[in-house]
Chains A and B, each alone.
Chain A
Amino acid sequence: MNFMSDEAFRWSVTILTGGLAGTWLVYDTINLVRSRRADRRDPLVRDKRFGYVMGMLIGLVGIIGCLRFHGVM
Chain B
Amino acid sequence: MSEAVIAAMTPSTSQRIVSPFNPANAVTASRFLTLPPFVWAVHNGHHQLATLFILVCGLLDKLDGLVAKVFDCRSAFGEIFDAITDGICYGFALLLVAYYGWAPWIPVLCVLALGIGNTTLRFVYAGRAGRTVNYKSYAMERVVAYTGYLVGFATSGMEVTFFYWLFVPIMGITVLHDAKRMLLDAVPGGGPAR
Contacts and interface: CB of A to CB of B under 8 A. Distances in A.
B156 A61 contact: no
Interface residues of B, number: 33
Contacts of A2: 46, 48
A7 to B, nearest CB: 12
A47 B137 contact: yes
SS class of chain A's interface: helix, strand, loop or mixed? helix
B32 interface: no
B49 interface: yes
A2 B47 CA distance: 8
Contacts of A24: 142
Contacts of A52: 138
A33 interface: no
B162 interface: yes
Given A50-B138, A54-B143, A54-B174, A68 B159 contact: yes
B105 interface: no
A13 to B, nearest CB: 4
Contacts of B47: 9
A19 B46 CA distance: 24
Contacts of A3: 48-49, 52
Contacts of A53: 139
A61 B170 contact: yes
Interface of B: 44, 46-49, 51-52, 55, 136-139, 141-143, 145-146, 149, 152-153, 156, 158-159, 162-163, 166, 170, 173-174, 177, 181, 185, 188
7 contacts: A9-B47, A17-B152, A43-B181, A47-B136, A47-B181, A51-B141, A55-B139
Interface of A: 1-4, 9, 13-14, 16-17, 20, 24, 28, 43-44, 47-48, 50-55, 57-58, 61-62, 64-65, 68-69
In the A-B complex, the 7 residue pairs with the closest CB atoms: A51-B138, A54-B139, A51-B139, A55-B142, A13-B156, A65-B159, A1-B46
